[in-house]
């Protein structure tokens, strides 16, 4: 539940900040007449996200076991790819998000007033689809479906309240630190989803090695115990992973965490660097 809560909170806060920027900019430029169309686009994004969640939940039941496992494995890998991209995109574009969105609004108005609908749908829909896919993959990996869904919805609700408070000047906190630490946490969550997806593909005989554990931690963490349930619900932990799962988890964490830390170091260095001198320096 905690992992899904943080997923809902982070994605919901990103979407809330995007909506706040778009609404504020339309008001600032005197185009409040386009707010209705923006909200239509946001409504479409929410509907698509709910549809994706419903399709992922009930769609696979008519498939064979092998087909379900293949679909589950592929979607888990897709969820990992999307959340990884989201973590790095926010890390590199967070500082320029406002200016980029304002530029997109200007371009949309120049093309067509109805292009605002598309902008709203795409800006918010990306976050919604990512949330639906990643929460589904995490729940499918062992989290309780009801608790997982409740956790995600609670995170989104919290994000809405925080985003509203920020827009009204009632809430102040370090967004950079929030996205940095949740990014680190989500890398570990994504690694567990990756291992679960590999296990699905092994069960479907797409990847060999299913049924041969690399090691067993059942003596330390008994299956079905509270620690097993806690770690499984948050990180998709399994006490008897296969070699493919161990290699996949280790490689993903090592590479992704290293790249993420490098990105954070570069961002910190850039923020600490003194401003560049003016280009129009006096000559002679």
Residue 280 has pLDDT above 50, yes or no: no
How buried is residue 279: exposed, middle or buried, by Cβ count under 10 Å (0-12/13-18/19+)? exposed
Separation in Å, CA 268 to CA 68, 89, 263: 44, 16, 9
Distance of alpha carbon 59 from alpha carbon 134, whole angstroms = 16
As a whole number, mean pLDDT of residues 140-159 equals 76
Residue 231 counted as domain residue: yes
Structure tokens given for 55: 């399709």
Residue 97 has pLDDT above 70, yes or no: yes
Residue 277 counted as domain residue: no
Residue 281 counted as domain residue: no
* Low-confidence winner among 68-72, 122-126, 161-165, 271-275 (lowest mean pLDDT): 271-275
Residue 215 has pLDDT above 90, yes or no: yes
Residue 62 has pLDDT above 50, yes or no: yes
Residue 31 has pLDDT above 50, yes or no: yes
**Residues facing 242 on adjacent strands:** 213
Residue 284 counted as domain residue: no
Residue 153 counted as domain residue: yes
Domain count along the chain: 1
What is the pLDDT at residue 18? 85
Distance of alpha carbon 182 from alpha carbon 179, whole angstroms = 5
Query: If DSSP states are collapsed to H, E and C, what string results for the chain?
Result: CHHHHHHHHHHHHHHHHHHHHHHHHHHHCCCHHHHHHHHHHHHHHHHHHHHHHHHHHHHHHHCCHHHHHHHHHHHHHHHHHHHHHHHHHHHHHHHHHHHHHHHHHHHHHHHCCCHHHHHHHHHHHHHHHHHHHHHHHHHHCCCCHHHHHHHHHHHHHHHHHHHHHHHCCCCCCCHHHHHHHHHHHHHHHHHHHHHHHHHHHHHCCCCCCCCCECCCCCCCCCCCCHHHHHHHHHHCCCCCCEHHHHHHHHHHHHHHHHHHHHHHHHHHHHHHCCCCCCCCCCCC
As a whole number, mean pLDDT of residues 125-148 equals 75
Helices 175-203 and 2-28 cross at an angle (nearest 10°) of 130
What is the pLDDT at residue 234? 74
Average pLDDT across the chain, whole number: 83
Say which residues have a Cβ less than 8 Å from residue 184's Cβ, sequence separation at least 6. 257, 260
As a whole number, mean pLDDT of residues 89-101 equals 79
* Low-confidence winner among 36-45, 197-206, 220-229 (lowest mean pLDDT): 220-229
Structure confidence at residue 262 as a pLDDT band (50, 70, 90): very high
Percent of the chain past pLDDT 90, that is, above it, reads 21
Range of the domain at 254: 2-271
Radius of gyration of the chain (CA): 22
How buried is residue 161: exposed, middle or buried, by Cβ count under 10 Å (0-12/13-18/19+)? middle
Residue 161 counted as domain residue: yes
Of residues 150, 146, 133, the one with CA closest to residue 59? 133
What is the pLDDT at residue 182? 85
In our burial notation (b when 16+ CB lie closer than 10 A, e otherwise), range 13-33 reads: bbbbbbbbbbbebbeeeeeee
Residue 115 has pLDDT above 90, yes or no: no
As a whole number, mean pLDDT of residues 262-283 equals 67
Distance of alpha carbon 118 from alpha carbon 260, whole angstroms = 31
What is the pLDDT at residue 282? 45
What is the pLDDT at residue 204? 92
* Low-confidence winner among 108-117, 145-154, 258-267, 273-282 (lowest mean pLDDT): 273-282
Residue 256 counted as domain residue: yes
Give the residue, 209 or 223, on which the prediction is more confident.
209
As a whole number, mean pLDDT of residues 170-175 equals 72
Residue 158 has pLDDT above 60, yes or no: yes
Residue 283 counted as domain residue: no
């Amino acid at each position: 539940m905690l992992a899904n809560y943080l997923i809902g909170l982070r994605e919901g806060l990103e979407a809330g900040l995007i909506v706040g920027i778009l609404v504020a900019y339309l008001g600032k430029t005197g185009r409040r007449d386009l707010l209705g169309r923006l909200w239509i686009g946001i409504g479409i994004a929410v509907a698509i996200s709910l549809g994706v969640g419903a399709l992922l939940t009930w769609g696979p039941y008519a498939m064979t076991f092998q087909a379900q496992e293949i679909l589950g494995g592929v979607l888990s890998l897709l969820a990992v790819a999307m959340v990884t991209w989201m973590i790095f995109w926010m890390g590199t574009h967070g500082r320029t998000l406002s200016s980029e969105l304002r530029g997109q609004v200007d371009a949309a108005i120049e093309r067509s007033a109805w292009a605002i609908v598309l902008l709203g749908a795409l800006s918010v829909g990306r976050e919604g689809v990512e949330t639906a896919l990643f929460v589904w993959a995490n729940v499918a990996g062992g989290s309780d479906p009801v608790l997982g869904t409740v956790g995600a919805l609670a995170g989104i609700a919290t994000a809405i309240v925080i985003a509203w408070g920020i827009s009204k000047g009632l809430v102040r906190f370090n967004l950079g630190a929030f996205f940095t630490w949740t990014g680190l946490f989500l890398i570990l969550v994504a690694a567990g989803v990756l291992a679960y997806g590999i296990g699905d593909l092994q069960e479907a005989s797409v990847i060999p090695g299913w049924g041969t554990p690399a090691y067993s931690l059942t003596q330390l963490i008994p299956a079905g115990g509270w620690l097993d349930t806690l770690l499984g619900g948050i990180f998709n932990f399994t006490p008897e992973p296969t070699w493919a799962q161990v290699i996949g988890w280790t490689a993903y964490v090592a590479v992704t965490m290293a790249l993420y830390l490098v990105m954070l170091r570069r961002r910190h260095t850039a923020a600490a660097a003194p401003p560049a001198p003016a280009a129009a320096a006096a000559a002679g």
